[in-house]
């Protein structure tokens, strides 16, 4: 009888232990699931990393080629002060660059960077480097100016001369009293060769001035830029991965149009096609003058790009699309808080 009671008590203890184990395992599972639900998901893009609302299109309307001419300066002054665009970049080798550096000094809240310039593309309106030409001989064409095209820079320029010149352009702006809010690259020249990319990122990081670097973690983005002719190889992808300042999710330009109305519609289509994230859209605003027409055959597109962002129809479209606008200053402020 005692043996039977002992066996039953042992059975009860074993049964209780099994039930307790199942209960504890269940509690651990529930706890793990609860913790899992409390975990904040990884940001999907740079917009989310910088704290912008999830799933939103964050747009930077960015005026290139400022300082190239008085017409460009006048246009940028108006549309920036009216908050129709967010950002602009100066071409330091150009004749009207210093005037817009002074504008940036007079308007310290505005986002004004440098459009680092290694080409001089127009037929009759041209410029040389900021550096002494004797110090950067590989950047100089037979006319004593910067090369006309990107492929000519790739064919002739040394990385050493490129670094000297882009540093000289930054230092000139600083010496005049304006530390650039960002740096980018005229005609995409600094993305024309992996060795140029390396020095571009190096200079940006040393100065702590953000460059227009596009996140290449998305294979679709890589394919798009490869299709546009940019030499993106594994070395460039690794450079982007290791770059230590904030990045864009995408980068594009205002589309052309045969009429002003068509240009507006093409721009709306572009906005609708964009995915959530930070996209910088570049354009080249200028006021309409005979002088502008003598400089470039793209004058009509540039005049429309001066007019379009103050167009009530386009402003209303942005509001209806729920577009959030930003600039490099805001991006850097958010980045420093990460």
Measured CA distances, 228 to 153, 224, 234 (Å) = 18, 7, 17
Neighbours of 298 (CB within 10 A): 14
- Say what the pTM is: 0.87
- Torsion-angle region of residue 208: left (phi > 0), alpha (psi -120 to 50) or beta? left
Measured CA distances, 271 to 170, 214, 320 (Å) = 32, 18, 12
pLDDT tens track for 133-184: 999 999 999 999 999 999 999 999 999 999 999 999 999 999 999 999 999 9
Would you state the CATH architecture of domain 46-336? Alpha-Beta Barrel (3.20)
The predicted structure's pLDDT at residue 41: 63
Give the start-end residues of each E strand in the chain.
Answer: 57-66, 87-90, 111-116, 183-185, 250-253, 277-283, 324-325
Ordered DSSP codes for 174-197: HHHT---S-EEEGGGGGGSSHHHH
What are the residue boundaries of the structural domains of the chain, listed by start? Answer: 1-39, 46-336
- Torsion-angle region of residue 337: left (phi > 0), alpha (psi -120 to 50) or beta? alpha
pLDDT in tens, the chain (338 residues): 444 444 445 545 454 454 445 444 454 554 445 444 555 566 789 999 999 999 999 999 999 999 999 999 999 999 999 999 999 999 999 999 999 999 999 999 999 999 999 999 999 999 999 999 999 999 999 999 999 999 999 999 999 999 999 999 999 999 999 999 999 999 999 999 999 999 999 999 999 999 999 999 999 999 999 999 999 999 999 999 999 999 999 999 999 999 999 999 999 999 999 999 999 999 999 999 999 999 999 999 999 999 999 999 999 999 999 999 999 999 999 999 99
286, 71 Cβ separation under 8 angstroms: yes
């Amino acid at each position: 009888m005692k043996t039977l009671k002992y066996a039953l008590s042992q059975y009860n203890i074993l049964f209780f232990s099994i039930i307790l184990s199942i209960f504890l395992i269940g509690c651990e599972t529930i706890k793990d699931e609860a913790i899992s639900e409390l975990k904040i998901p990884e940001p999907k893009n740079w917009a989310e990393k910088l704290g912008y609302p999830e799933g939103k299109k964050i747009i930077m309307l960015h005026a290139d080629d400022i300082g190239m001419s008085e017409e460009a300066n006048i246009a940028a002054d108006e549309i920036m002060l009216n908050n129709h665009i967010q950002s602009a970049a100066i071409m330091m080798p150009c004749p009207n660059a210093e005037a817009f550096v002074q504008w940036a000094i007079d308007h310290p809240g505005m986002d004004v960077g440098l459009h680092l310039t290694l080409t001089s593309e127009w037929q009759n309106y041209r410029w040389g480097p900021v550096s002494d030409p004797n110090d950067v001989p590989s950047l100089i064409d037979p006319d004593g100016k910067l090369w006309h095209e990107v492929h000519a820079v790739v064919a002739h320029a040394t990385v050493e001369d490129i670094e000297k010149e882009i540093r000289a352009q930054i230092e000139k702006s600083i010496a005049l009293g304006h530390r650039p809010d960002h740096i980018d690259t005229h005609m995409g020249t600094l993305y024309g060769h992996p060795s140029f990319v390396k020095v571009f990122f190096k200079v940006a990081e040393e100065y702590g001035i953000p460059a227009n670097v596009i996140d290449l973690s998305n294979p679709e983005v890589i394919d798009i830029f490869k299709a546009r002719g940019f030499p993106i190889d594994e070395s460039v992808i690794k450079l982007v991965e290791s770059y230590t300042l904030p990045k864009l999710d995408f980068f594009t330009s205002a589309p052309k149009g045969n009429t002003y109305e068509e240009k507006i519609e093409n721009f709306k289509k572009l906005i609708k096609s964009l995915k959530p994230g930070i996209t910088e859209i570049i354009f080249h605003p200028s006021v309409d003058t005979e002088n502008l027409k003598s400089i470039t055959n793209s004058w009509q597109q540039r005049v429309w790009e001066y007019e379009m962002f103050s167009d009530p129809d386009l402003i209303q479209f942005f509001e209806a699309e729920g577009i959030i606008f930003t600039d490099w200053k805001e991006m850097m402020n958010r980045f420093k808080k990460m």
